[in-house]
C-alpha cells in the first residue's frame, strides 16, 4: 500500500481524528524501549535507522558506512531483520545460495558489500557476527528495537519529505515523535538535493545532534542512457525518486510502473512489463534492490541503475566512527 496522502500534508481532519491512536503507538514504542534489556557486544554496534515508516535511504547509507569502515581497515558485518524473507533462524546470507524470498531483497543486495546476517532476533545475529570475525556490526534498521545496545545511532530522513505531518502512526508516518527519536540519535542524515535540504531546515530547524547532508547519485557504469527509451519500474519506498534519477541520466521514460515496496516480481507481472516494453520499443529498467527479486528468466533482460550515497562533509561521521575504536 502507498502511504496516505495526508501523512505528508499539514495536519488536518484525518491526522487530528487519528492522533489519539498515534499517542498510543508512541507510548507503546517508548514502553518497549524502556523495558528492553539490551545485549552489549564486545565490539561496537552502529545502527542505521529512521523515525519514519517506509523508505528514507537506509540501504545506501548502510553501504556507504560499510565502505567507510572498510577503508579505515575494519571488518564490518551487517545485521538485518531480513524483511520479507522466510528464514527464521540466524543465517549468513550467501548470494549464490539464497534468494530474496528467503532472506529479503535488501540483505541480498547488501551481501555484495559486506557479510550480512539475517534473523528476527537481531541480538542473536549480532553475536554470530562477532563470533565470525566482525570487529564492528552495522545494524540495518532497529532504531526502535531494544534488544541490542547501540554505540552509534544514525537516523536517516528523506530531505524532501522530512518527517511528514509530524504525527505518529496511524495519524502520520512516524514511529515515534521527532523530538523523542532525535534525542536518542547521535547523527541525523538528511538525503536529497540542495533545494530539498534547504526546505528541510526551514521546516524542521536545526536538529539537536550533528547533521549530515547527502544525496543519492547514480553510479557511473559506462552505460550511455542519453536518449534511451525505457520502461522504468520500482518497488521501493518512493518510486518517483528512482524515476527522477533515470531522467537525470538522460533516458526517456515512456512508461513509469510504481510498485509496492518489496512487491514480489511474479512471472505474470514481468511478462506483462516485458510485453508493454516491446510494444513501446523500450528497455526494462529497475533498481538494484528490485533486481534481487527478478525471476531468473528476466535477469538478463532488465537493466539496473545503481545509486550511491554522496556526503558533502564526512567529518562528523568520521569523528563519530573514530571514537568507537
Burial class of residue 238 in the structure, from the number of CB atoms within 10 Å of its CB (0-12 exposed, 13-18 middle, 19+ buried): buried
Q: Is 301 annotated as a binding residue?
A: no
288 has pLDDT over 80: yes
Q: Is 194 annotated as a binding residue?
A: no
C-alpha cell of residue 289: 534492490
263 has pLDDT over 70: yes
Note the pLDDT of residue 158.
Answer: 96
Q: Is 53 annotated as a binding residue?
A: yes
Q: Is 56 annotated as a binding residue?
A: yes
- Cα separation, 98 vs 85, whole angstroms: 10
Across 255-280, average pLDDT: 95
- Cα separation, 275 vs 278, whole angstroms: 5
Note the pLDDT of residue 3.
Answer: 84
Predicted confidence band of residue 2 (pLDDT cuts 50, 70, 90): confident
Q: Is 28 annotated as a binding residue?
A: no
Phi, psi of 157 (to 5 degrees): -140, 145
Q: Is 40 annotated as a binding residue?
A: no
Q: Residue 69: name the closest of 9, 152, 188, 142 by CA.
A: 152
Phi, psi of 61 (to 5 degrees): -70, -40
Across 117-131, average pLDDT: 96
Q: Is 59 annotated as a binding residue?
A: yes
Q: Give 11-35 pLDDT, tens digit per residue.
A: 999 999 999 999 999 999 999 999 8
What lies within 8 Å, CB to CB, of 174 at 6+ separation is 22, 51, 52, 53, 163, 164, 166, 167, 168, 181
Q: Is 91 annotated as a binding residue?
A: no
Mean of all residue pLDDT scores within the chain: 95
Using a pLDDT cut of 70, give the percent of the chain over it. 100
Amino acid at each position: 500500500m502507498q502511504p496516505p496522502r495526508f501523512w505528508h500534508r499539514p495536519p488536518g481532519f484525518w491526522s487530528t481524528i487519528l492522533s489519539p491512536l498515534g499517542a498510543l503507538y508512541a507510548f507503546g514504542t517508548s514502553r518497549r524501549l524502556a523495558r528492553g534489556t539490551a545485549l552489549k557486544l564486545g565490539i561496537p554496534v552502529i545502527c542505521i535507522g529512521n523515525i519514519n515508516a517506509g523508505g528514507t535511504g537506509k540501504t545506501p547509507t548502510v553501504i556507504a558506512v560499510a565502505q567507510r569502515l572498510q577503508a579505515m581497515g575494519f571488518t564490518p558485518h551487517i545485521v538485518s531483520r531480513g524483511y520479507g524473507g522466510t528464514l527464521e533462524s540466524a543465517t549468513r546470507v550467501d548470494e549464490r545460495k539464497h534468494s530474496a524470498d528467503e532472506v529479503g531483497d535488501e540483505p541480498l543486495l547488501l551481501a555484495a558489500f559486506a557479510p550480512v546476517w539475517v534473523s528476527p532476533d537481531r541480538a542473536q545475529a549480532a553475536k554470530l557476527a562477532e563470533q565470525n570475525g566482525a570487529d564492528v556490526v552495522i545494524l540495518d534498521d532497529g532504531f526502535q528495537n531494544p534488544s541490542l545496545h547501540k554505540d552509534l545511532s544514525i537516523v536517516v530522513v528523506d530531505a524532501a519529505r522530512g518527517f511528514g505531518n509530524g504525527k505518529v502512526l496511524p495519524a502520520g508516518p512516524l514511529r515515534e515523535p521527532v523530538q523523542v527519536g532525535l534525542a536518542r540519535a547521535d547523527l541525523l542524515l538528511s538525503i536529497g538535493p540542495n533545494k530539498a535540504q534547504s526546505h528541510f531546515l526551514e521546516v524542521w530547524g536545526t536538529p539537536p545532534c550533528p547533521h549530515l547532508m547527502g544525496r543519492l547519485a547514480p553510479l557511473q557504469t559506462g552505460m550511455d542512457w542519453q536518449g534511451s527509451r525505457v520502461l522504468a519500474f520500482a518497488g521501493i519506498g518512493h518510486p518517483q525518486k528512482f524515476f527522477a534519477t533515470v531522467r537525470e541520466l538522460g533516458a526517456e521514460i515512456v512508461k513509469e510502473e510504481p510498485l509496492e515496496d518489496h512487491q514480489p516480481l511474479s512471472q505474470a507481472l514481468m511478462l506483462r512489463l516485458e510485453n508493454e516494453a516491446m510494444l513501446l520499443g523500450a528497455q526494462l529498467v529497475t533498481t538494484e534492490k528490485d533486481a534481487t527479486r527478478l525471476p531468473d528468466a528476466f535477469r538478463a533482460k532488465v537493466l539496473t541503475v545503481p545509486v550511491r550515497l554522496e556526503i558533502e562533509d564526512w567529518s562528523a561521521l568520521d569523528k563519530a566512527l573514530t571514537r568507537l575504536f
